[in-house]
Amino acid sequence: MAETFCIAFVVGLMGFLLGSLVYHFLPLFLNFGTVPKGNFGWPFLGETLSFLKPHPSTSTGTYIQDRFSRYGKVFKSHLFLAPTVVSCDEELNYYILQNEDRLFQCSYPKPIHGILGKSSMLVAVGDTHKKLRSMALSLVTTMKSKLEFLNDIEKNATGILDSWKDKSQIAFCEEARKYTFNVIVKQVLGLTPEEPHTKKILQDFLTFMKGLISLPLNIPGTPYSKAVQARHRISSTVKAIIEERRRRNAENCIKKSDFLEVLLCTDTLSEDEKVSFVLDSLLGGYETTSLLLAMVLFFLSQDASAVDQLKVEHEKIRRMKKSLEFLDWEDYRRMEFTQCVMNEALRCGNIVKFVHRKAIKDVKFRAVHLDPSLHSKALQFNPWRWQTQDQTCKKFTPFGGGSRCCPGFELAKLEVAFFIHHLIQNYRWKVEDDEQPMAYPYVEFQRGLKLSVECC
Ligand code: HEM
């Protein structure tokens, strides 16, 4: 009998905590014999409201905490209109991720399909998913291999930092979003921030993001319904950009060498799939990456020795280059401590809390319960732990895993690393208002992470 699982990974601060939600579980044979213990909550809404209850993203939140202590690492629930199993067991999560298309399949709740569209990589399965994924991998390979792309990223970073010169206070989340949005729009569509299309996409995209994790009520005026409309508008804008490019290419035959060109020349994707591909790239490449950057600054503001060590690393790299020379891939590879800082910010900040899967076959699973203290002093930001700890282990999956592992993870890290390179050598900063990242469960700094900055 086929079962539908939806798994949400809460990459828990506690280290051992990876939450997963499993939908429509029916006869699910975990090592509990039948279905795990738990509660379906209210009719219709189930436990969705408790799940969505805001909490600091550096903690597990009461939804997970309460049920975890009552039922253990794996429990049943009812979320986003469907029966669900939530797993906080990294062995089970790993097992599920590694068995994509064999035992499990990506399955986001139906309302999310309504917003993302049926051709989105996040919801596509089987051959459609493979086709779209290979496109995403080729986008990242193109970016890594072309110096021009890397230079663009760096120019965007220095552009933002230069604009701080006469300021003493910055709303950092806004700056970080500007940076990552400009990077991804340039990389995928070849657009600069000043172009009207860019502004229009950004505006609609913000509405789209707000509705992505909201109550799925398609009633005019709700964030969900606004998101569905915003998606239609972005889709029309992207189609217009594609058309414009086709017309220009036909007129003067001087082709740009950006990714849109690669996308245009692809005959394996339909027009709808091309539009969805652009949306997926924006979705993946924008908010998550800017949040990682914000998390890095947030945690570093509390750790002067990590800042000092980063400074040494980046000044050394700068000394190896001619003045004003752009960074390249090799420089990025040399940023070893920066990698540790990013890993630790990902671990402590829990940017992506969950992913969804369904079971396509009955599953027998023996959970090997791991030591609850996988990360010593788990609540503490300690980038040095990554100098000895394997970042590819089961207990660290900030980018998912298996055949759906995030294709953009290296691009995200590179963007953050390049930004840090210039930031650390030019500015000192302090977080104002004691702000902390909150999970709604979609993670956000409520007041936008205000920083006081000064040149150094
Ligand atoms: C810090 C930054 C990022 C984080 C934390 C992150 C996290 C994730 C996670 C957890 C998944 C797995 C979803 C699942 O299994 O259902 C994923 C998938 C994905 N990410 Fe990222 N991501 C980041 C940056 C990016 C960037 C920069 C891009 C694009 C340029 C991107 C594009 C995608 C796409 C297209 C998928 C779907 C892959 C598939 O289904 O095969 N992400 N990401």
**Judgement on whether residues 152 and 237 belong to the same structural domain of the protein:** yes
**Judgement on whether residues 139 and 52 belong to the same structural domain of the protein:** no
Give pLDDT, residue 400: 85
Give pLDDT, residue 274: 87
**Judgement on whether residues 157 and 66 belong to the same structural domain of the protein:** no
**Judgement on whether residues 83 and 159 belong to the same structural domain of the protein:** no
340 is in an annotated binding site: no
Domain-embedded: residue 4: no
**Judgement on whether residues 76 and 104 belong to the same structural domain of the protein:** no
Give pLDDT, residue 427: 96
**Judgement on whether residues 200 and 76 belong to the same structural domain of the protein:** no
The CATH number of whichever domain residue 416 belongs to comes to 1.10.630.10
Give me the sign of the Cα torsion angle 298, 301, 306, 312: positive
Task: State how far the Cα of 329 lies from the Cα of 412, in Å rounded to an integer.
Answer: 13
Q: Where are the alpha helices (DSSP H) in 99-195?
A: 110-116, 126-145, 147-162, 172-189
Per the structure, the complete domain to which residue 63 belongs is given by 37-88
Give pLDDT, residue 361: 67
Any idea how long the chain is?
456
**Judgement on whether residues 50 and 189 belong to the same structural domain of the protein:** no
Give pLDDT, residue 376: 76
**Judgement on whether residues 64 and 93 belong to the same structural domain of the protein:** no
Domain-embedded: residue 98: yes
Domain-embedded: residue 5: no
CA distances from 284 to 159, 278, 338, 343, 409 (A): 23, 10, 21, 18, 9
Domain-embedded: residue 301: yes
Task: State how far the Cα of 66 lies from the Cα of 56, in Å rounded to an integer.
Answer: 15
Residue spans of the chain under pLDDT 50:
1-32, 366-373
Domain-embedded: residue 383: yes
Domain-embedded: residue 1: no
Domain-embedded: residue 6: no
What angle (nearest 5°) sits at the alpha carbon of residue 220, between those of residues 216 and 226? Answer: 65
Query: What residues flank ligand 1, with Cβ below 6 Å?
Result: 106, 121-122, 133, 136, 280-281, 284-285, 288-289, 292, 351-352, 355, 398-400, 404, 406-409, 411-412
Cα 410 to ligand 1 centroid, rounded to whole Å: 10
Ligand 1 atom 21: the closest Cα is on which residue? 406
**Judgement on whether residues 106 and 167 belong to the same structural domain of the protein:** yes
**Judgement on whether residues 124 and 156 belong to the same structural domain of the protein:** yes
Total structural domains within the chain = 2
From 54, 88, 122, the end of a domain falls on 88
Domain-embedded: residue 26: no
Cα 35 to ligand 1 centroid, rounded to whole Å: 30
Reading phi first (left if > 0) and then psi (alpha if -120 to 50, else beta), residue 324 is in left
Q: Report which ligand 1 atom has the smallest distance to the Cα of 9.
A: 10
Residue among 102, 66, 107 at smallest CA distance from 84: 107
Task: State how far the Cα of 73 lies from the Cα of 119, in Å rounded to an integer.
Answer: 34
**Judgement on whether residues 239 and 338 belong to the same structural domain of the protein:** yes
Cα 405 to ligand 1 centroid, rounded to whole Å: 7
**Judgement on whether residues 65 and 174 belong to the same structural domain of the protein:** no
